[in-house]
Chains A and B, each alone.
Chain A
Amino acid sequence: MSESLVSNTEHNQRRIALLQAGILVLISTLLFWRVHHYVYDVASSVPDAAHAFAVPILVLILAWLRRHDLFQRIGRGSFWGVVIIVFGLFIYGISNWPFHYGYPDKVTSVIVIAGIILVTCGWRFLFRCLPLIFLILVAIPTGVRTFARLIITPETITLEVVRAALDLLPGISITLDGQDMYYLGDQGGGVIALAEPHRGAQILLAYLTICIFLTFTRIRPIWQIITLAILSIPVVLFCNFARVTLWGIITIYGNYDPLSGVPRITSAILALCLAYIIFGLFITLINSLVIEGGKTEEISLSKDNRGEQS
């Protein structure tokens, strides 16, 4: 009877904490509705940011998958949450005046959400929410000019590797002039991905979003997370290479106009599926290799829960 009363009180406390978090997030939209509007606008118009539409759904799925663990980890709120909120608001302020920085100004919404979680639900809950917070962070688009500068090296290398790969196709000769890829074959010639912005390095963050989502569908020990984070880099780069190569193959063999959307959309969808499959295979491999490690994690989680309850 007394155990059930204690458990009931804890249950109530946790529900109150979640309610408080929800109310604070709602109040924060007074300041950050512009950010949400901006992300929506950019995601609607820029392919590199379109994954932002999927992120809320993925966050909800992750939250649902780990709901029991999350609920168990709700503890006492920490004063440091207020410090993080103040820090976020400060960054928001100086990103708007005297400076004019678009990206930090948007990122502060995520910092403030982290602060709210800490204030209401405590450190252990915040720690478990980090993957969700990281997913939201990836959904925030970087500035156009900053992004254009960041992708110079990956884009240049990808285009050269794709040129070499497409050049191996029978009867096809490929030349690269800057970012424009020209092909010449028995059926004639043409251009691949003419005038597409970032044609050699698009939707990189969409592949990364898939990697993050798949990684955190299970609660993993840190070493697995680090291994998968390292693996995600070659996966993202390979999928980008695959996308441009597929784009070229579809354009060449489908005789598509260089401005046609068919090769672009088809190659993007296939590359996203490829990212899912490759990273899924890596995860299956890790899971099968470390079954014992997985069991240890389950045990340690149960111990944690017992400790928290006692």
Chain B
Amino acid sequence: MTSTSTKNQRRFFSPLFIASAVLLLVAGLGIRPAISALTKRYSKEPIDLRLSFDDFDPTQLPSFRWLPEVRGIETTLEEIETEDWFSYIYRRRTPLQGEPDLDSMIFVTYYSDPRAQIPHTPEVCYRQGGAVVRSMRQVTVPTPDLAPEIQQIEALMLHLEQGNILRILVYVLVCEGKCYPSRGDARIAIGWPGNRYTYFSKVEASTYCPPGTDPLVMEERCKLLLSETLTPLLKYHYPDLDTVRGK
């Protein structure tokens, strides 16, 4: 009887069980305080824009003419939960053959919160406003003005339908000096340790595609508008990389 009981005790207190119990106990008591300490010690810090978006010169885009009389998106900082933003309406200086002379919009927001989750991206956000997402794909946008550092970027191209109107929209998330086409990629970049400061910015360019127009033509226009807007943003507005790294 005693022997069976001893055997049972031995089985119960097996090395595997003891190791697992100790591991879980240590994790249960230690992981949360460790995470808090690490967050406190190594958490990235918010950083302001180098040059405020109020100082963005809307006339500097080489291929687009700013329409000051037409307002872009009308919203508030609180409504879009951002720290800074701007929205301008443009027309092509010299439209290409077969390209309708329609308004195009640029909409830029800026955030600098290390615990930010990145708010809804356009494919979710515009649906809440009644748009239907007809297609969504990753595209390459050439950025010759940012070469050789950045020769091209990956962005997300959306076709949104509202009523009978097709809207073409391309957007990119700029995070700590690099461009990302998806929210997931940008979240990894925000969390990735190394830099002292963090920020992210959403840059979206959009236009309408009237019936009978080749959507590819309007996609190219959006890509060009995105590329030309990114140049001054990265060169003059977003914090420079050395500052972000804490050098």
Residues of A participating in the B interface, judged by any CB pair closer than 8 Å = 12-13, 16, 19-20, 23-24, 27-31, 77, 79, 81-82, 85-86, 89, 92-93, 96-101, 112, 115-116, 119-120, 143, 145, 148-149, 152-153, 156, 177-180
Nearest chain B CB to A27 CB, angstrom units: 4
Q: How far is the CA of A30 from the CA of B123 in the complex (A)?
A: 39
Known contacts being A148-B124, A156-B132, A180-B130, is A82 close to B20, with CB within 8 Å? yes
Residues of B participating in the A interface, judged by any CB pair closer than 8 Å = 4, 8, 11-12, 14, 16-17, 19-21, 23-25, 27-29, 31-32, 34-35, 38-39, 42, 115, 117-121, 123-124, 127, 129-133, 136, 162-163, 183, 187-188, 191-193
With CB as the reference atom, state the residue of chain B lying closest to A160.
B132
Q: How far is the CA of A86 from the CA of B27 in the complex (A)?
A: 10
Contact A31–B133 (Cβ < 8 Å) = no
Q: How many A-B residue pairs have CB under 8 A?
A: 116
Contact A178–B28 (Cβ < 8 Å) = no
Given A28-B24, A31-B27, 15 more pairs with CB closer than 8 A: A20-B17, A30-B25, A31-B24, A85-B23, A97-B38, A98-B193, A116-B24, A119-B16, A119-B20, A120-B17, A145-B183, A148-B120, A149-B183, A152-B124, A179-B130
Contact B127–A152 (Cβ < 8 Å) = yes
Contact A178–B39 (Cβ < 8 Å) = no
Contact A145–B11 (Cβ < 8 Å) = no
Nearest chain A CB to B31 CB, angstrom units: 6
Contact B21–A24 (Cβ < 8 Å) = yes
Known contacts being A31-B27, A82-B23, A98-B191, is A24 close to B124, with CB within 8 Å? no
Contact of B130 among A19, A30, A81, A177 (CB under 8 A): A177
Nearest chain A CB to B14 CB, angstrom units: 7
Q: How far is the CA of A77 from the CA of B18 in the complex (A)?
A: 12
Nearest chain A CB to B99 CB, angstrom units: 28
With CB as the reference atom, state the residue of chain B lying closest to A175.
B163
Which residues of the other chain, A, contact B191 by a CB distance below 8 angstroms? 98-100
Contact B16–A82 (Cβ < 8 Å) = yes
Nearest chain A CB to B163 CB, angstrom units: 7
Contact B39–A97 (Cβ < 8 Å) = yes
Contact A12–B163 (Cβ < 8 Å) = no
Contact A98–B42 (Cβ < 8 Å) = yes
Which residues of the other chain, B, contact A79 by a CB distance below 8 angstroms? 16
Known contacts being A30-B29, A145-B120, A178-B162, is A82 close to B133, with CB within 8 Å? no
Q: How far is the CA of A28 from the CA of B183 in the complex (A)?
A: 32
Contact B24–A24 (Cβ < 8 Å) = yes
Contact B121–A149 (Cβ < 8 Å) = yes
Which residues of the other chain, B, contact A98 by a CB distance below 8 angstroms? 38, 42, 191-193
Q: How far is the CA of A179 from the CA of B4 in the complex (A)?
A: 68
